[in-house]
Amino acid sequence: MSEAVLSRRFLVRRPGLVLSGLVLAAVLIAAFAPTLFTSQDPLTGIPSERLQGPSLSHLFGTDETGRDGYARVVHGAGLSLRATVLAVLVAFAAGSALGLLAGFRGGWLDSVVMRIVDVLQAVPSILLSLALVTALGFGTTNVAIAVGVAHLASFARLMRAEVLRVRSGVFVEAARASGVRWGGVLGRHVLPNALGPVLVLATVTVGIAVLEVSALSFLGFGATPPTPEWGALVASGRNFLATAWWMTTFPGLTVAAVVLAANRVSRALDGERS
């Protein structure tokens, strides 16, 4: 049976995974080329069209100044996605480096790193992010860094566990016995074999980061108005829930869809790895 037929059967049997992939693909395209989805200006409103409900001309309705809700959600994808990617990169890079050093070197370095990890994991990530962004200051970049630092402990602990598992393998001992230096063993044997589960954790963290970045933006720590950002869009509609429910509903559903799609894709990747 050809690979094309097998691939089609795989996708047909997993409609949720296909839908999740399409959602994430649409968000990625909207982040880099929002004009493919809408020609409306997200910052300019028409006062005579303020607070209009969803229609063919305004799919997500309009806000209190007449700005198109759909255009603001589409253009907000770029800012929200960049913050999410930066947060995951900070957590992945810093956490993996700490876990790699702790698991490979051991001794006092392992003890110090693990105590720091214990302290970070003792505090809920959203509270730690809130404390960090208060210290760093407002702005989307600071929000992303705060969320990333709040999650680096999970990456450090997982990387350390994987390094300890791989380090005891026969192929690592054989490489050392053949005269390969510790740096070569680390880069050529330990890191590639320990990286798989950490990459899966990174995909899981994407969904969590989207949620936490949006939550901090909702609280006012992200981009300043009128910049469209998903969390800020939800916050801006709080005062109009009784008369303009669409202002909060559609940005909120967008965040929920991205989080669920990222989690579904991460489960699929974890299943493939195992």
At 70 the pLDDT is 93
CA contacts within 13 A on the Cβ side of 226: 14
**Per-residue tens of pLDDT for the chain, all 274 residues:** 455 554 566 556 677 788 888 999 999 999 899 999 988 888 888 888 888 989 888 899 998 888 999 999 999 998 899 999 999 999 999 998 898 888 877 778 888 888 888 888 888 888 899 889 988 888 888 999 999 999 999 999 998 888 888 777 666 666 666 666 666 666 666 777 778 888 888 888 998 999 999 999 998 888 887 888 899 899 888 888 888 899 999 999 999 999 999 888 888 876 655 5
CATH class of the structural domain 20-36+56-273: mainly alpha
At 6 the pLDDT is 46
Work out the number of other CB atoms within 10 angstroms of the CB of residue 114. 18
Q: How far are the Cα atoms of 71, 100, 103, 190, 194 from residue 171, in angstroms, in the given order?
A: 55, 18, 17, 10, 13
Distance CA 172, CA 188 (A): 10
Question: 81, 27 in Cβ contact below 8 A?
Answer: yes
Question: 163, 104 in Cβ contact below 8 A?
Answer: yes
The SS3 assignment for 266 reads helix
Question: 25, 19 in Cβ contact below 8 A?
Answer: no
At 73 the pLDDT is 93
Q: pTM for this one?
A: 0.86
State the Cα torsion 138-249-266-101 to the nearest 10°: 10
At 119 the pLDDT is 87
- Each domain of the chain, given as residue ranges in start order, spans 20-36+56-273
